[in-house]
Amino acid sequence: MDQEAACKIVWNILQSMPIEVFDEEEGSIWENDTYELVRPRTEGDFEGTRIIGSANIVTALNIINQKLVIHNVANDEIKNTADLSYKLFADVIEELQAKKLIRKIPTKVRSTFKLIEGTNGSSTQS
């Protein structure tokens, strides 16, 4: 699977209806607090929202992994698909950010920037 094909798959999943992961054992919900769509959805129940669900992210990574596993089996190759799929997924996330389709949530970015004070080189972490 090349990066262009992976990018299309991931984008289709991330822009679809946001779904969160519910952990039954812990009784908690996993939320994605890192990425959102750059442009709000224009239709459907979630029209006007930018949220990307945690299950959407997990599903996108899993589908990439499954496609790599299928490719390996079809070609009698033995490769560590977990490492390959994670790297490909990370590259796709970077590409989707570069194409301005997704972005880091602005409040998350603001909470992690470094503030430089004065000209004496001192700094504080915000």
Residue range(s) defining the domain that contains residue 115: 3-125
Say if residue 82's pLDDT is above 60. Answer: yes
Give the mean model confidence (pLDDT) for residues 78-85: 84
Of the given ranges (24-33, 72-81, 106-115), which has the lowest mean pLDDT?
Answer: 106-115
Phi, psi for 27 (deg, rounded to 5) = 70, 30
Percent of the chain with pLDDT over 70: 84
E strand or H helix at 104:
strand 102-104
Spatial contact of 30 and 23, defined as CB atoms under 8 Å apart: yes
pLDDT for res 125: 54
Cβ neighbours of residue 101 under 8 Å, at least 6 residues apart? 11, 15, 37, 38
Q: Does 122 score more than 60 pLDDT?
A: no
Higher pLDDT, 29 or 118: 29
Specify the DSSP element, H or E, that contains 125. Answer: strand 123-125
- Burial class of residue 68, CB neighbours in 10 A (0-12, 13-18, 19+): buried
Mean pLDDT of the chain: 88
Residue 120, token pair as written in the block: 């004496």
What domain count does the chain have?
1
Asked whether residue 87 carries a pLDDT value surpassing 90, the answer given is yes
